[in-house]
Amino acid sequence: MVRDTVIEDGSADSRTHKVFRALDQICVQFDLGRPIWLDSNIRDFKRRSRTRFTKDSFVEGIDFDFLEIQVIEED
C-alpha cells in the first residue's frame, strides 16, 4: 500500500452521491484525475461495496497498480 485515506460523510445525501463526492475528494487529495467507472467497477461495487480502479480507468497515466475504494458503514 502506497497511500490510504478515510473520508467521512454524515450528510443526508444518497449513498451514490456520498461515494462520488468521496472519490472526488480522494482524487484531489492524491492529485489524480478522476477515474472512469467501467462496467466491472460498477458490478464489483454493487456486490461488495468496494472496487479497484486500474490504469484502464484513468485517462492520464498512473504510477501505481490500482486505486481501491471501499464503503465502510457503521451503525
What's the pLDDT tens digit per position in 11-53?
Answer: 999 999 999 999 999 999 999 999 999 999 999 999 999 999 9
Q: Is the distance from CB of 58 to CB of 33 less than 8 angstroms?
A: yes
Q: What is the pLDDT of residue 74?
A: 65
Residue 9 lies in a domain: no
Residue 66 lies in a domain: yes
User: What is the span of the domain harbouring residue 47?
Assistant: 15-70
Residue 10: inside a domain, yes or no?
no
Quote the mean pLDDT of the chain: 93
Give the residue from 3, 54, 62, 7 showing the smallest Cα distance to 32. 62
73: confidence class by pLDDT, cuts 50, 70, 90: confident
pTM over 0.95: no
In a domain, 56, yes or no: yes
Residue type at 44?
Answer: D
Look at residue 50 and tell me if it is in a domain: yes
- The verdict on residue 3 lying in a domain is no
Question: What is the number of structural domains in the chain?
Answer: 1
Domain membership of residue 51 (yes or no) is yes
Cα 16 to Cα 23: distance, rounded to the nearest angstrom = 11
CB 42: neighbour CB atoms within 10 A?
11
